[in-house]
Amino acid sequence: MSDAGKNGLVIWEGPSLIDKKPIVLVATGFKRTKNSKIGKMISTWIMRSYVEPMHANRNGGDYSVCGDCKHRKWRTCYVNLAHGPYNVWCAYKRKAYRKIDHKDHGIFWDRDVRIGSYGDPAAVPFEIWNWIVETSDAITSYTHQWKNCDERLKKISMASVDTIAERREANSLGWRTFRMLMEDEAPLKDEILCPASVNRGVVTCKDCGLCCGTSSKNNSNVAIHVHGTSWKKYRFRNIMKLRKNKKRFSHLIRRSPVKV
């Protein structure tokens, strides 16, 4: 196995399957990772090639990698763009990561991979993910584009949903789901509460391995209580409450800027 470009590699570059804008897929964590929830998993980052993540978020360019995810519009995504995405993008631009080549065929052997630490896997060709899945030990993957993406993603990805109605729709289309719960909400009978969130530090995503689409031996759906920074959790609760009561919340949604 190669040195995996120190701690990261450029896995793929090309047009987003969402809007054809240039994006890049970078994998990091070959030598180290600091995420206590996911454990020693390889992280993959889907980003705009020429637009810094925070700038893309402010100017609509993140549509290329996030699509119509409601958390992008509501500004409730748990990912802190100033940390992982920004640091990985800056390292990519200064060419700290080399591009993958034939010597790296076995880089994912006996490794666990988090597909889409930032960005939606639906933006990247399925063939890329399939190669990673077939050569790795285990994966986790989630997509908010489950209504409009390559249906082969069902095999490896969970449909990210936020309501029981969305969960039912996704299940009817053949997806296993990963649902966000309010703090006082209990999972349904056919849902398992995310073990890595309940027993953080004891059980990791690497240990659990449930969130791998229909390829999982366990057919249950998975649920997790709302997480992220305090203001994002408050904002999500507020919007969901207004939405449930069929009240107007458009004033809380960011305007759609010109996409860059």
Q: Is residue 54 part of a domain?
A: yes
What does the pLDDT look like over 152-186, one tens digit per residue? 999 999 999 999 999 999 999 999 999 999 888 89
More confident of the two residues 199 and 201:
199
Question: Quick one: tokens of 48?
Answer: 């705009």
- Assess whether pLDDT exceeds 90 at residue 249: no
pLDDT in the model for residue 254:
62
What domain range is 18 assigned to? Answer: 8-252
Q: Is residue 96 part of a domain?
A: yes
Which of helix, strand or coil describes residue 56?
helix
Q: Residues for the chain: how many in total?
A: 260
Question: Quick one: tokens of 24?
Answer: 């890049």
For range 108-117, the mean pLDDT: 92
Q: What is the pTM of this model?
A: 0.88
More confident of the two residues 13 and 194:
13
Q: Is residue 172 part of a domain?
A: yes
With cut-offs at 50, 70 and 90, classify the pLDDT of residue 91.
Answer: very high
End-to-end CA distance of the chain: 38
Q: Is residue 257 part of a domain?
A: no
Q: What total number of domains does the chain contain?
A: 1
Nearest by Cα to 4 from 102, 104, 88:
104
For range 90-116, the mean pLDDT: 91
Q: Is residue 2 part of a domain?
A: no
Mode of pairing for the β-strands spanning 158-161 and 177-181: parallel
- Assess whether pLDDT exceeds 50 at residue 221: yes
Nearest by Cα to 192 from 220, 232, 162:
220
- Assess whether pLDDT exceeds 90 at residue 43: yes
Question: Quick one: tokens of 258?
Answer: 């010109």
Residue for token digits 């073990």?
195
Contacts of 147 (CB under 8 A, 6+ apart): 173
Residue for token digits 């080549």?
101
